[in-house]
Structure 1
Amino acid sequence: MIEVTGLTKRFGDVTAVDDLTFTVRPGKVTGFLGPNGAGKSTTMRMILGLDRPTRGQATVNGKPYTTLKNPLTTVGSLLDANSRHPNRSARNRLKWIAQSNGIAVKRVDEVLHLVGLTEVGKKKAGGFSLGMGQRLGLAAALLGDPEILILDEPVNGLDPEGIVWVRTLLKTLAAEGRTVFVSSHLLSEMAHTADHLIVIGRGKLIADAPVNEFIKHSAKSSAHVRTPEPLALTEALNGQNISFTAEKDPEGREVFVIPGATTDRIGQLAHTNSIPLAELTEHTASLEQAFMESTGDKAQYQAAFTGMKDMPAVEEDKQ
């Protein structure tokens, strides 16, 4: 279990993490989400004792990370897959880490096999691709067979097969009763992987909830309706002050999109007004929509570019 209490970190006049309190429990994958600059990496670094909090504390299994003996047997972490010696082979790197934490050397070959790097174990890590570097970083995190995993962007650089492999691995480890805490900007992947979410923005806690609950409370679902009598449906919706938009589906057919409405309500309205329906479906909001709704005003860097029309004109040099 990871416990964060009143955690605060300031760098000069900048508050990177602001009074965070949350608990990451075993038996589930907990996703850690936030815009760039939200304080995710700084929070993870403080949990691992790499940064000292300005105020508050973070513990793993009730103890500060820095007090753990042979910490890799309790906590496995991946914060930066590029932090590896370029001239040391993958196997020698893992062997060195194992010996420094009292881990049997035979475990090195086990984790190399687990992450799919057995065939390149003797090659220098400096020649690894981004995806291979991620796999090596995951091997190091798993080396001590830890009960707690802290991973920052573990699928960065992986191909689709690798992403599915990481997803399956994390869910399997959580099902074994381990604590899995993982950050990612790939929200569609996090929707498939995480059971619970910790969401922060500008260093502050925004949400601490199961994935489905976060989506339900952060973004509205919508009813999608098609009818051969669009004017009648328009009048019925306007008569009930129900907001809607008219859009085209991929086949060019007009669809009424009604935010926040249930199919029960719209179905009853159509029945009362004798309006025939060709389609009536409820569309649940995605994790991406919920994330944008809850953090849109918390992003540190917001792009102004919305299309080619916003591109500044480039004048040709006049010779």
Structure 2
Amino acid sequence: MIEVEGLTKQYKSVRAVDDLTFQVKPGMVTGFLGPNGAGKSTTMRMILGLDAPTAGRARINGKHYHELKDPLREVGALLDAKSVHRNRSAANHLKWIAQSNGISTSRVDEVLGLVGLSDVAGKKVGGFSLGMGQRLGLAGALLGDPGILILDEPVNGLDPEGIRWVRQLVRALAEEGRTILISSHLLSEMSQTADHLVVIGKGRLVADQPTYEFVKDHSQSSVLVRSDHLDAFGSALRAEGIFFTESTDEEGRPRLEIANQTTDFVGQLAYSTGVPLNELSLKRASLEDAFMELTGDSVQYHGSTGAQTTGTAAAATGAGSGTGAATPLARPTQQEV
């Protein structure tokens, strides 16, 4: 288990991490989310003893990292896959880590096979693509067969097949009872991977709850409508006191997004007002929407989407609703190479 209590990091006038308290429990994947600059990497570095906290503490299995007798056998980490000697081969890089930590070098071939790098074990790391470097970083994290994994953006540089492989890998490791803390900017992927979420913004904790509860509490489904008569239908919605936003679809066509309603109700309203619809579909609540709703004020730089909000907030009547054999193997794909 990872325990973070009152963790704070001050850099001169900037408080990068501000009184963080949370736990990462075994047997599940905990997603660590936040906008760029929120303090995720700094927090991970403090957990691993790479940065000293200004205040508070972080413990791994009840101990500070420097107190662990065999740290690589207890916790594996991937923070920066690029921090590798470029002239070493993948195998020699892992052998150096193994020998310096009292780990059998026979484990090197196992983890290279696990991450799909057996065929390039003798290749110099300097010639690796970003995706292959990430796989090597994961191999290093798994080298000591640890019960705890801390992974910062592990799918960075991987193609869709590689991303799916990482998801299956961490899910399998969690099912073995291991403790997994993982950060990612790919929210759609995190929604399929993480059982629990710890979300921070501007260094502060903003959410600590199961993924499904986070989505339910901070997002909502909406009905998407496209028509050649959107102005008329918008007037009908306003007359009913129904909240909606104006947006465009992937092809740039205008549409309305109607919150807190069912497709049945919206379809009946269109029929009763004589407005033919070209599209009537349900957009389900998502982790991405929930994340943006909760952390929008913590984002450093904002772009303009051109979306407009209209209508009222009132809802009308009718609102609805171990690295063993079972762990998946994967080779780097052509895109990663």
The alignment partner of 1:51 has SS state of coil
Structure 2's unaligned 5+ residue stretches are 307-337
Cα offset for 1:220?
A: 2.5
Q: Which residue of 1 aligns with 2:121?
A: 121
Cα offset for 1:230?
A: 7.9
8 Å CA contact 1:27–1:176 kept in 2: the answer is yes
Structure 1: how far apart are the matches of 2:290 and 2:178?
27
Q: Deviations over 1:36-59 (max 9, x none)?
A: 110000000000011111111111
Q: Which residue of 2 aligns with 1:150?
A: 150
8 Å CA contact 1:229–1:275 kept in 2: the answer is no
Alignment of 1:79-98 (within 5 A): 79-98=79-98
Alignment of 1:2-151 (within 5 A): 2-151=2-151
Cα offset for 1:304?
A: 5.1
The alignment partner of 1:296 has SS state of helix
Q: Which residue of 2 aligns with 1:290?
A: 290
Q: Which residue of 2 aligns with 1:311?
A: none
8 Å CA contact 1:226–1:277 kept in 2: the answer is no
Matching of residue 176 in structure 1 with residue 191 in structure 2: no
Cα offset for 1:244?
A: 2.6
Instruction: Tell me the matched-pair count.
Output: 305
8 Å CA contact 1:227–1:275 kept in 2: the answer is no
CA RMSD of aligned residues (A): 2.8
Structure 1's unaligned 5+ residue stretches are 308-319
Alignment of 1:219-298 (within 5 A): 219-224=219-224, 237-245=237-245, 256-263=256-263, 281-298=281-298
Amino acid at match of 1:59: R
- Greater mean deviation of Cα atoms: 212-221 or 193-202: 212-221
- Greater mean deviation of Cα atoms: 275-284 or 98-107: 275-284
Cα offset for 1:306?
A: 6.4
Q: Deviations over 1:163-218 (max 9, x none)?
A: 11111101111111111111111122212211211111110011112222212222
The alignment partner of 1:213 has SS state of helix
8 Å CA contact 1:77–1:150 kept in 2: the answer is yes
The alignment partner of 1:57 has SS state of strand
The alignment partner of 2:198 has SS state of strand
Cα offset for 1:95?
A: 1.1
Structure 2: how far apart are the matches of 1:250 and 1:166?
29
Q: Cα 1:98–1:251, aligned 2, differ >3 Å: closer, same or farther? A: closer
Q: Cα 1:24–1:12, aligned 2, differ >3 Å: closer, same or farther? A: same
Q: Cα 1:84–1:226, aligned 2, differ >3 Å: closer, same or farther? A: closer
Q: Cα 1:264–1:62, aligned 2, differ >3 Å: closer, same or farther? A: farther
Q: TM-score, normalised by structure 1?
A: 0.85
Cα offset for 1:289?
A: 1.8
Structure 2: how far apart are the matches of 1:131 and 1:13?
36
Cα offset for 1:159?
A: 1.8
- Greater mean deviation of Cα atoms: 242-251 or 217-226: 242-251
The alignment partner of 1:173 has SS state of helix
Q: Cα 1:72–1:240, aligned 2, differ >3 Å: closer, same or farther? A: same
